[in-house]
Amino acid sequence: MPRPHLRLVTTACAALILVSGCANHLPQRSEQEARAERKLVEHSLRIEAGEPAVMELPQRRVRIIDQKTFEVTDYEVTRRYDRYTPYQPWRELYEIPLGAVAVVAGIGANVLNVALLGSLPERATRDWISYGFAGLNPFLNVESNGRSEQNLANLDEQRHDVRLEYTSLPWAERPVTVMAGGETYEMTTDRNGVLRLNLLDGPFSEQNAEQIGKLTLSVIDPQDATTAQTALLVSRELRSKLDEAHDLVFEDLEDDDVDQWVFRVERLSQLGFEAEASELEQSLIELTRNDPELQQEFLNKLMQKAGRLAADSGANDD
């Protein structure tokens, strides 16, 4: 091979070796973490419609509970990383002279350490020499934690424990389908998972009460199509009272006189709707709060004609 060509090939090889220098490997690093996997194994919805199964009163609180069973597996995960300092040729411009200085300093430190009976720290005797030779090597950069890189070398997962975990949460602010007398309504539970049914109020008040013989409640979780359903019967006696009770509760109070107010409260109590009678009492007391004389007249007649002793439940709120 001609000499100019040989020189060119030699130069190219040297440049290639210089550019593709070796990475300086650092001590391996490992990290550990605990991990848990949860697998759903059972899901059910429970509707607690209360007792008795036949409604004799217009109001009912229905509680809905979302129950799940999970299989929980605990793992301990260990990851090991290979760390290295990537090679950058331009760093040799300062690492080679610094390496020479470090080798000389390391040799001097070792000589001095013999005289001092080994009292010098290892970083002065051994680390300086290691740094120096790495710096003198044109195909190797010295170790640098600041610019080190890493690759995942090994992943080890060890399973430690398998257990069942149960949750029971309210069906909070979720939809409930209610079928009543051939009509279907979408209602919503409160934040405690309670659905408040009131046959005197909407949407049931818009129907013919005699047609509401049964309430069918159903819920479905769209994530996995889990469903639950239950039914409440409405007694014939209750249905016969609903229309009258609705008028007693919801007709305009301001158009009636005190005697009519008392009649409405008393009649609700006679029908067996004591909760509604008490609510109407408080509504009338609130209505007359700014007229103490009228309020007192109502309370007196309520006691005389209906035998009911009422008090203002909101009097202490001011």
Q: What is the pLDDT of residues 159-190, one digit of tens each?
A: 888 999 999 999 999 999 999 888 899 999 99
The answer to whether 231 and 215 are in contact (CB under 8 A) is yes
Distance from C-alpha of 128 to C-alpha of 103, rounded to nearest angstrom: 6
Q: Which two tokens stand for residue 8?
A: 């060119």
Question: Under DSSP, is residue 170 helix (H, G, I), strand (E, B) or coil?
Answer: strand
Q: Determine if the peptide bond prior to 27 is cis (ω within 30°).
A: no
Distance from C-alpha of 81 to C-alpha of 149, rounded to nearest angstrom: 9
Distance from C-alpha of 17 to C-alpha of 32, rounded to nearest angstrom: 38
The answer to whether 99 and 135 are in contact (CB under 8 A) is yes
**Which pLDDT score is estimated for 312?**
57
Q: What is the pLDDT of residues 46-89, one digit of tens each?
A: 999 989 889 999 999 999 999 999 999 999 988 998 888 787 77
Residue ranges for the chain with pLDDT beneath 50 = 1, 4-20, 318
**Which pLDDT score is estimated for 124?**
61
**Which pLDDT score is estimated for 69?**
97
Q: Where are the alpha helices (DSSP H) in 65-127?
A: 92-115, 122
Q: Which two tokens stand for residue 157?
A: 């997962």
Distance from C-alpha of 121 to C-alpha of 126, rounded to nearest angstrom: 9
Question: Under DSSP, is residue 272 helix (H, G, I), strand (E, B) or coil?
Answer: coil
